[in-house]
Structure 1
Amino acid sequence: MKIVFAGTPAFAASALEHLHGAGFEIALVMTQPDRPAGRGMQLQASAVKQFAQAHGLPVAQPRGLRLDGRYAEDAAAAQARLAALRADAMVVAAYGLILPQWVLDLPRLGCFNIHASLLPRWRGAAPIHRAIEAGDALTGNTIMQMDAGLDTGDMLLTEPVPIAPDDSTGSLHDKLAARGGPLVCEVLRQAERGALQPQRQPAEGVTYAAKIDKAEAAIDWSQDAVQIARRVRAFDPFPGASTALDGTAIKIWSAEALEGHAADAGAAPGTVLAAGADGVFVRCGQGVLRASVLQRAGGKRLPADGFLRGHPLPAGSLLA
């Protein structure tokens, strides 16, 4: 089969690696334009582009795909190139551009999307983050036949993946990324032999996973400890759950909710109840959060004892 692949971050690169290793002909790799990154803000290629270049795969980086949009010239060039390829299928994973109808109509077998949730739950941009934040016990990958809607196409194959109690977005991302490639390969093989059995998404249970905003990182200590602990895991590695003491920013990277603490009676939410080698205990709206990995602005992630050696948090301190 002749495949066009469209994707950008590490999640997509893992799928591309599997497709390449499985022997599919990758006729073109489409990915987002290089972006400034790092302290020096140097242009950096996406994870997908880096893999494609390392393996001699042709790359296209249109800034847009709408023929009547701001980047109509890029879109027209992409249209001509894709039409000339006469691809059998297109595989899409976290590409970052909406595919207009002309793209969806070009491949003989259509466009297949690897989506990191069990649709229709968590349609949208941040399904892994939102599943952890909501306290879901189960997620997975869905291979979907793409249509013009937002993750509304027919489901072709799904694979459930349990969410462990200590999973962060980073760890769950890696689990799902490793399984997305094999799953889409199976769908492509089914498509080639005419064996696909599309299932319409149910109308019930639809939820939307809005893009993560940096403003969400600030911890609201009036929330209950369980909810805060979920957000700590959901926002690791980005944007990191944050709080502050006397104007100094502190990120919390690992935490768990406790039912109570001997010193919590009457303390205001955000009050440090105790701090030591076993963690920093903070009063929440309900319950207590034990933070075990912390980071001061400009510093490194450290276990609680290492953090406290350089940045004491005395009992009674109020985090905001």
Structure 2
Amino acid sequence: MRVVFAGTPEFAAIALDAILAAGFTVPLVLTQPDRPAGRGMKLQASAVKQRAVAAGIPVAQPQGLKLDGKYAADAAAAREALLAADADVMVVAAYGLILPQWVLDTPRRGCLNIHASLLPRWRGAAPIHRAIEAGDAETGVTIMQMDAGLDTGDMLLMAREAIRGDDTTAVLHDRLAALGGSLIVEALQAVTSLTRTPQPAEGVTYAHKIEKVESAIDWRQPAAEIERRLRAFDPFPGGVATLAGEAVKVWRGEVVNGQGQPGEVIAPGPVVACGQGALRLTELQRAGGKRGPASAFLQARPIAVGERFEA
């Protein structure tokens, strides 16, 4: 079977690795254009492109796929490449571009999406983050037959994964990426016999894109909610609070008993009062410094009981 692959970050690259290891022919890879990254802001290829180049697979990097849009020339070139690839199916994982109908219709068996949630819960851009933030007990991966909607297509396969009490987005991402790789191989191997199940109308939620502004910690929230947000926003964008005019990154915390004015340091540790309960901050980072245990932070900048963190 000839499988065109479309994806960009490491989550997708792991799926591409699995497809290649299973012996499928991949005649073409689509991925986002190279982006500036790092201190020198040099152009850097996506994780998927790096894997494709290493495997000798042709790569297309259109800026858009609408044949009548701003990037019509890119879209036309991508269309030629897709037609030449003569694909039985396209696998899509965290690609980053909306696929217009002409793309969905090009492969003989359409496009299969690897989505990191138990659809219809957490459609959208950030399903892993939002599942942790919401306190979900489990998540998983859904293989979906794509249609023109936003993660609205029929479900083909689903696998569940428990969310552990100490999971960060980074940690859960890696487990779901491995799960997605194995599940898409299973789907491709049985593609002619898979049953399509429409998504239920009940239980639809949207995982909106993570914005940097969300990093500001609102100490009026319950400590348990803040703790989940810290794990959900690790590695990006983290949690940010202000202490005596200095921005401090808060990476991890533990929920403890305690009360006081929201943001007030009520015990050594430091232990910070929240809207309900308190949070012992266990991993911190000063501006320009490295993230590390709170004990190392306190050696450089002691925090006294009575000081107050602001949003």
TM-score (norm 1): 0.95
How big is the shift at 1:274?
A: 2.1
* CA displacement 1:215-240 (0-9 Å, x = unmatched): 00000001110110010000000001
**What are the residue-to-residue correspondences of 1:172-251 with 2, within 5 Å?**
172-191=172-191, 194-251=192-249
Aligned residues: 310
* Structure 2 CA distance for aligned equivalents of residues 148 and 269 of structure 1: 45
Q: Give the AA of the match of 1:47.
A: A
* 1:29 and 2:22 aligned: no
Q: Give the AA of the match of 1:89.
A: V
Corresponding position of 1:76: 76
* Structure 2 CA distance for aligned equivalents of residues 12 and 105 of structure 1: 22
SS in 2 for 1:26: coil
* CA displacement 1:109-165 (0-9 Å, x = unmatched): 110000000000000000000000000000000000000000000000000000000
* Structure 2 counterpart of 1:272, from 258, 262, 265: 265
SS in 2 for 1:186: helix
How big is the shift at 1:8?
A: 0.3
Corresponding position of 1:53: 53
Corresponding position of 2:13: 13
* Structure 2 CA distance for aligned equivalents of residues 274 and 302 of structure 1: 20
SS in 2 for 1:113: strand
* Structure 1 CA distance for aligned equivalents of residues 302 and 20 of structure 2: 51
* 1:315 and 2:300 aligned: no
**What are the residue-to-residue correspondences of 1:121-132 with 2, within 5 Å?**
121-132=121-132
How big is the shift at 1:304?
A: 1.2
* Structure 1 CA distance for aligned equivalents of residues 93 and 270 of structure 2: 39
* Structure 2 CA distance for aligned equivalents of residues 308 and 184 of structure 1: 47
* 1:257 and 2:255 aligned: yes
* Structure 2 CA distance for aligned equivalents of residues 48 and 273 of structure 1: 47
SS in 2 for 1:178: helix
Unaligned runs of at least 5 residues, structure 2? none
Q: Give the AA of the match of 1:82.
A: L
* Structure 2 CA distance for aligned equivalents of residues 248 and 42 of structure 1: 30
TM-score (norm 2): 0.98
Q: Give the AA of the match of 1:239.
A: P
Corresponding position of 1:140: 140
* 1:284 and 2:282 aligned: no
* Structure 2 CA distance for aligned equivalents of residues 300 and 6 of structure 1: 35
* Structure 1 CA distance for aligned equivalents of residues 204 and 179 of structure 2: 23
Corresponding position of 1:112: 112
* 1:42 and 2:42 aligned: yes
* Structure 2 CA distance for aligned equivalents of residues 237 and 150 of structure 1: 25
* Structure 2 CA distance for aligned equivalents of residues 8 and 106 of structure 1: 20
How big is the shift at 1:291?
A: 1.1
* Structure 2 CA distance for aligned equivalents of residues 27 and 250 of structure 1: 48
Q: Give the AA of the match of 1:90.
A: M
Unaligned runs of at least 5 residues, structure 1? none
* Structure 1 CA distance for aligned equivalents of residues 228 and 129 of structure 2: 10
SS in 1 for 2:220: coil
